[in-house]
A and B are shown apart, each in its own frame.
Chain A
Amino acid sequence: MEQLFFILLALLTLSAALMVVTTRNLLHAAFWLILVFFGIAGFFILLHAEFLAVVQVLIYIGAISTLIIFAIMLTRRIMDPQQPRFNSQWGLVGGLAALLFVVLAAVTTRVAWPTTSATLPAEPIKQLGADFVGVYAVPFEVASVLLVVAMIGAIIIARERG
């Protein structure tokens, strides 16, 4: 049952991802990207990471894709259908990407990965919240600093001068 869901989700996600990189119309590419994000949220559910699935929808679909759509709207001429999609080296790059996939897949299927007998904590979200201010206290604060620095930087860059 789970395997069936995995295969369906994988087909959906990968074909949407292919559409993202090949569609001529950038706004369509952005909507395909949103479908990829949904598919990945589905994988997170299959992996018993429901919190991450919601965060994926909240941040990637709610926030990051909105930013990308705004970027497309704000840069007008990129809607031009006459412009080529790819640069001149796309054939080479395509071969390279295919090669990378073959190598990665070959390697990952050959390694005997260790497995765990541990069980999921009773309340993973509670555990995660405790970890954020416990084990990961420093990254937690750094994340806040990173976000604010990114915000300040982006405001300075994007502000309309004069």
Chain B
Amino acid sequence: MQSQYLFIAIFAVVALALPAIGLAVAWALRPKKPNPIKNSTYECGMETIGETWVQFRAQYYLYALIFVVFDVEAAFIFPWAVAYNQLGLYALVEMILFVAILFGGLMYAWRKGALEWR
């Protein structure tokens, strides 16, 4: 098993090295003539006003929140799905209950308007 992940590790190193080498080659080939206008922030030619770190709406957070809940649920569903063929009817009943609770939560979020983009 661990040799499989040794491959993944080597693959990851290669996959980071390839773009790095590409950038090094490009660095050698390309022209370098910076000037302040070129390097300014691109906002359709307007001068940048204010800080970039503008405050974001909490709406983004609500989506991330519901996502986290369903993502954790995936960590439970996948082992269950792998084992499911060998399990009795109780596995089905328990999963229906598990999903029903989550679905209830989704319905609540829906009713409260957490799924609306405003």
* CB closest residue in chain A, given B4: A50
* CB closest residue in chain B, given A74: B56
Interface of chain A: mostly helix, strand, loop or mixed: helix
Residue A63 lies at the interface, judged by CB distance under 8 Å to chain B? yes
Q: In the complex, are the beta carbons of B69 and A150 less than 8 A apart?
A: yes
Q: How many A-B residue pairs have CB under 8 A?
A: 142
List chain A residues, Cβ under 8 A from B59: 160
List chain B residues, Cβ under 8 A from A156: 112
* CB closest residue in chain A, given B118: A160
Residue A59 lies at the interface, judged by CB distance under 8 Å to chain B? yes
Residue B90 lies at the interface, judged by CB distance under 8 Å to chain A? yes
Residue B13 lies at the interface, judged by CB distance under 8 Å to chain A? no
Interface of chain B: mostly helix, strand, loop or mixed: helix
Give Cα A67–Cα B65 distance, bound, in whole angstroms: 7
List chain A residues, Cβ under 8 A from B84: 129
Residue B37 lies at the interface, judged by CB distance under 8 Å to chain A? no
Q: In the complex, are the beta carbons of A151 and B105 less than 8 A apart?
A: yes
Name the interface size band of chain A: 35 or more
* CB closest residue in chain A, given B104: A148
Residue A110 lies at the interface, judged by CB distance under 8 Å to chain B? no
List chain B residues, Cβ under 8 A from A70: 56, 60-61, 64
10 further contact pairs, Cβ within 8 A, besides A59-B75, A67-B68, A140-B94: A46-B2, A66-B67, A70-B56, A74-B60, A130-B86, A132-B79, A133-B90, A140-B98, A155-B114, A158-B58
Taking Cβ atoms with an 8 Å cutoff, the residues of B that contact A are 1-2, 5, 51, 53-62, 64-69, 71-76, 78-84, 86-87, 90-91, 94-95, 97-98, 101-102, 104-105, 108-109, 112, 114
The 6 A-B pairs with the shortest beta carbon distances in the complex, nearest first, are A129-B83, A129-B79, A148-B105, A63-B68, A144-B101, A133-B91
